[in-house]
Structure 1
């Protein structure tokens, strides 16, 4: 009797991801879909006519610069955490929180500038869309600032370091996403207002 060699294929390992990171990515996809549908609706409604023409508030340029700078400070914090430089991590996270708050204040001033130009939430759809875009983004940014504060508090408890990066990585992913989303919205509005 011959011995038969039987080769058993090893079972493929499933892709694994931290469950909270997976949930974050699902949330990000949801937000992308919301803003994609809103920008599509904007284009369709604009084509129907009766569209108010106005200049975007100049403060949008400043808030865009602030959000880009905040991405740099958070990336500095991420690199500091990977190198276990916890003092720099705390400074970088605190700076990012401050920049996030500056962005939100700038958003408020953009609404003041819109009102000064007689662009209101109720009235022409052009203004309504702008308030919804900026307001919904501001709401998500508030959640991002809260997340930053949670990570900052965790850094003071020494819960963020090179061996424990999941929370920091999630925060960085979400914050960079919010920054990219703002830049997308700003460019979209610049090209389509």
Structure 2
């Protein structure tokens, strides 16, 4: 019975589209990187309460709220596409893109707040990890933002021609691309929320 279950899982993995496999492996690798850096961040504090004199940047708090909202908007993209509603698909993809840009801007503002508190990249040993963790997350998110823009342009082009729209809606490859974007976006949302909880604990 166990062998049958194992072979069933192996078959599922083998039948995955190469893009799905690459993305899932990338997410797994990124997760390991963040786990390693978060562990190093915690261990880099020479003494407990080192950040008690500081307050977590307000921009990080606001950006966390923004990323939670973006998780909802990204989750609406694929359902609207599957219901053949291109207009709503574009709207939610565009809103997700805007929220991602707002989040990125707030991250830069948060770094300025950290610097204003005397925590800079070359300061406290653990201070550099604050920039490193949030910076690597922002780098990963930048890739998703570029991909969202490409998807949005593609949807707008296809919308001009009824035949192209029909082909788009009936193509499982297009559905997969939007689905992969939503999954990756939620993954990055979850990573940031874990980082934010860690920052709250450290501060």
Taking structure 2 as the reference length, the TM-score comes to 0.83
Q: Which has the larger radius of gyration?
A: 1
* 1:108-143 per-position Cα deviation (integer Å, ceiling 9, x unaligned): 100111111111110112321101011111111111
Aligned to 1:151: 151
Instruction: Tell me how far 1:50 sits from its aligned partner.
Output: 8.9
Equivalent residue of 2:16, what SS? coil
* 1:17-56 per-position Cα deviation (integer Å, ceiling 9, x unaligned): 111011000000000000000111112222x339742221
Q: Which of 49, 53, 56 matches 2:47?
A: 49
Q: Does 1:161 align with 2:169?
A: yes
Trace 1:102-121 onto structure 2 (pairs within 5 A).
102-121=102-121
Given the superposition, is the C-alpha separation of residues 40 and 82 from structure 1 closer, same or farther in structure 2, using an over 3 Å criterion? same
Given the superposition, is the C-alpha separation of residues 190 and 69 from structure 1 closer, same or farther in structure 2, using an over 3 Å criterion? same
Q: Does 1:84 align with 2:84?
A: yes
Q: Does 1:173 align with 2:183?
A: yes
Aligned to 1:32: 31
More displaced, 122-131 or 103-112?
A: 122-131
Q: Unpaired runs of 5+ in structure 1?
A: 1-11
Aligned to 2:3: none
Cα root mean square deviation, aligned? 1.8
2:177 and 2:154 mapped to 1: Cα distance?
9
Contact 1:52–1:124, Cα closer than 8 Å, also in 2: no
Equivalent residue of 1:104, what SS? helix
Given the superposition, is the C-alpha separation of residues 132 and 78 from structure 1 closer, same or farther in structure 2, using an over 3 Å criterion? same
1:160 and 1:132 mapped to 2: Cα distance?
40
1:65 and 1:161 mapped to 2: Cα distance?
32
1:163 and 1:95 mapped to 2: Cα distance?
24
Taking structure 1 as the reference length, the TM-score comes to 0.87
